[in-house]
Amino acid sequence: MFAMQLEGGAPIYEQLVSKITELIANGTLKENEKLPAVREVAKSLGINPNTVQKAYAMLEQNGLTYSIPAKGSYVAKTETTEEIIKKKLLKELSESIAEALKAGITKEEIIKLIKEEKSDD
Amino acid sequence: MIELKDVKLSFDENVILDGVTMTVPDGRAFGLLGSNGAGKSTILRLLSGIYQLQEGSIKIDGEDIYDNVKIKEQICFINDETIQFTNYTLKQLKNYYKRFYRTFSEEKFVKLHSVLNLPMNKKLSTFSKGMKRQAIVICAIACCTKYIFLDEAFDGLDPTMRIIVKNMMIDAMIDNGATIILSSHNLKEVQEFCDTAALLHGGKIIFCRELDSVMGSIRKVQTSFPTAPSKEDFPEIEILHIENSGSVTNIIAKGTEEEIRASVEKHNPRFVDMIPLTLDEIFIYEMEVLGYDGKDL
């Protein structure tokens, strides 16, 4: 069972979805690995089993997991998780760029950095 | 399914419920929230057939409750008052419940009892407040009813016991598809444990919604503008509260993160920090709108 700290404001199923997405993206949960049972998650976080169910349904909708009736939810094949990692990194990158631009770093300076990085290969 | 339609109830001159309409679908964990004296316990007592209905209608699985054995044996009500049982031992209490509930599971009772350290042959009057509560909770859950109602659900229980009681309810929901209604002042617990909640005030329902749609519907924004704004500067969003303190502006607004951000950024803020309100804060703001606050203290 994974550990997580519930935060005050955001819906709990969303927090659960993003936590599990993160665990899949960083490889903690691997392809075809079984997610903990709904009962187990509900008890360890003190939350409603319907909420866990909702998060699991959402993960399946997002293509991150698949379910086997009467058995549980499993992590889907890794192509999707690689895509998630890419998406996540791109998002972080764009946030950093926005922050850098705000702080007065020019686009040219950022492009220069990227070019330098490429030449390191 | 539980359906209340325009339920009104008064004792002598006192109006306790003033037109309550709400629906609790099967399999939910439903939280009843509200100020002291809002009518939470009264609703639970009406739903358990303890009080007779005066006006409106209450149906559980399509039937009236009062004096209806068929429906009542599917309901277990855990009252916040335990004084009526003080002369019983836990063993007697268990047999008392067993007599009324055909679905009572001795096996379940033994399992629940094994988790706790409660004597079977001592009178409840020798128990502490928390122990009495535990005794009644395990008897009630062993009844394996479709509906479980808890008044002041977590009152008088230590943190470990709260977890145990919650786990018992989680099992009841998964194993028996139980529907749970609980009243509580502990908003954090309701926020975590319930999927739907109703806020009551003065015998009326203020809101009755799925918590996922309540949570994240109101946000607190801390920001700073070149010139201090007023409510009218943000016509796109509903502002519940705005306060300028020095160069910092605090806003409480309804809407999604994107909607609020779009509206705020029209005024060239130096920064925008946004966090969703907790249920605790939503409760306080909703009550403040109704004039229920501690501001005059």
**Domains in chain B, start-ordered, CATH in brackets?**
2-210 (3.40.50.300), 217-276 (3.30.70)
| Phi, psi of B280, deg, nearest 5 | -55, -50
Are A20 and A44 contained in the same domain? yes
Are A59 and A92 contained in the same domain? no
Answer yes or no: is A2 within a domain.
no
Answer yes or no: is A50 within a domain.
yes
Looking at beta carbons, which residues of chain A come within 8 Å of B194?
48
Are A33 and A84 contained in the same domain? no
Q: Most A CBs within 10 Å: which of B30, B192, B209, B210, as the mutation test of the A interface? A: B192
Query: Residue B188: its pLDDT value, please?
Result: 83
Are A31 and A69 contained in the same domain? yes
Helix, strand, coil shares, percent, chain B, to 5: 35, 30, 35
Query: Residue B275: its pLDDT value, please?
Result: 84
Question: Is residue B134 within 8 Å of B120, Cβ to Cβ?
Answer: no
Query: Residue B1: its pLDDT value, please?
Result: 94
Looking at beta carbons, which residues of chain A come within 8 Å of B211?
11
- Average pLDDT of chain B is 89
Are A21 and A72 contained in the same domain? yes
Q: Do B276 and A10 touch (CB under 8 A)?
A: yes
Query: Residue B293: its pLDDT value, please?
Result: 65
Answer yes or no: is A3 within a domain.
no
- Summarize pLDDT for A27-85 with one digit per residue, the tens: 888 889 999 999 999 999 999 999 999 999 999 998 889 999 889 999 987 666 677 77
Identity of the residue in B212, B219, B277 whose CB atom sits nearest the CB atom of A13: B212
- Scanning B134-163 for CB atoms below 8 A from A yields 163
Answer yes or no: is A27 within a domain.
yes
The helix/strand count (H/E) of chain B reads as 10, 13
- State the pLDDT confidence band at B283, using cuts at 50, 70 and 90: confident
Query: Residue B241: its pLDDT value, please?
Result: 85
Answer yes or no: is A30 within a domain.
yes
Domain that holds residue A100: 80-119
Q: Do B195 and A50 touch (CB under 8 A)?
A: yes
Provide ipTM, 2 decimals: 0.78
User: In sequence order, what are the residues at sequence separation of 6 or more whose Cβ sits closer than 8 angstroms to the Cβ of residue B232?
Assistant: none
* Residue range B241-253: mean pLDDT, rounded: 89
Q: Do A42 and B170 touch (CB under 8 A)?
A: yes
* Alpha carbon separation from A16 to A2, A58, B125, B134 (Å, rounded): 10, 10, 43, 31
Are A27 and A45 contained in the same domain? yes
Q: Most B CBs within 10 Å: which of A14, A44, A48, as the mutation test of the B interface? A: A48
- Summarize pLDDT for B208-238 with one digit per residue, the tens: 888 888 877 788 999 999 888 888 889 888 8
Query: Residue A119: its pLDDT value, please?
Result: 61
Are A67 and A101 contained in the same domain? no
Global pTM?
A: 0.80
Are A29 and A41 contained in the same domain? yes
CB atoms within 10 A of CB B199: 23
Are A19 and A49 contained in the same domain? yes
Query: Residue A79: its pLDDT value, please?
Result: 62
Query: Residue B96: its pLDDT value, please?
Result: 94
Looking at beta carbons, which residues of chain A come within 8 Å of B174?
38-39, 42, 49
Are A41 and A86 contained in the same domain? no
Query: Residue B297: its pLDDT value, please?
Result: 58
Number of domains in chain A: 2
Distance CA B215, CA B128 (A): 37
pLDDT score of B254 more than 90: no
| Phi, psi of B225, deg, nearest 5 | -120, 155
Query: Residue A62: its pLDDT value, please?
Result: 85
pLDDT score of A9 more than 80: no
Answer yes or no: is A4 within a domain.
no
Side-chain half-sphere exposure of B290, counting CA atoms within 13 A: 19
CATH code of the domain in which A24 resides: 1.10.10.10
Answer yes or no: is A107 within a domain.
yes
Query: Residue A118: its pLDDT value, please?
Result: 66
- Scanning B19-58 for CB atoms below 8 A from A yields 27-29
Are A26 and A42 contained in the same domain? yes
Answer yes or no: is A112 within a domain.
yes
* Residue range B53-64: mean pLDDT, rounded: 94
- Summarize pLDDT for B129-142 with one digit per residue, the tens: 888 888 999 999 99
Query: Residue B161: its pLDDT value, please?
Result: 86
Are A56 and A27 contained in the same domain? yes
Q: Do A11 and B195 touch (CB under 8 A)?
A: no
Helix, strand, coil shares, percent, chain A, to 5: 60, 5, 30
- Summarize pLDDT for A76-113 with one digit per residue, the tens: 876 666 777 787 788 889 988 998 998 899 999 999 98
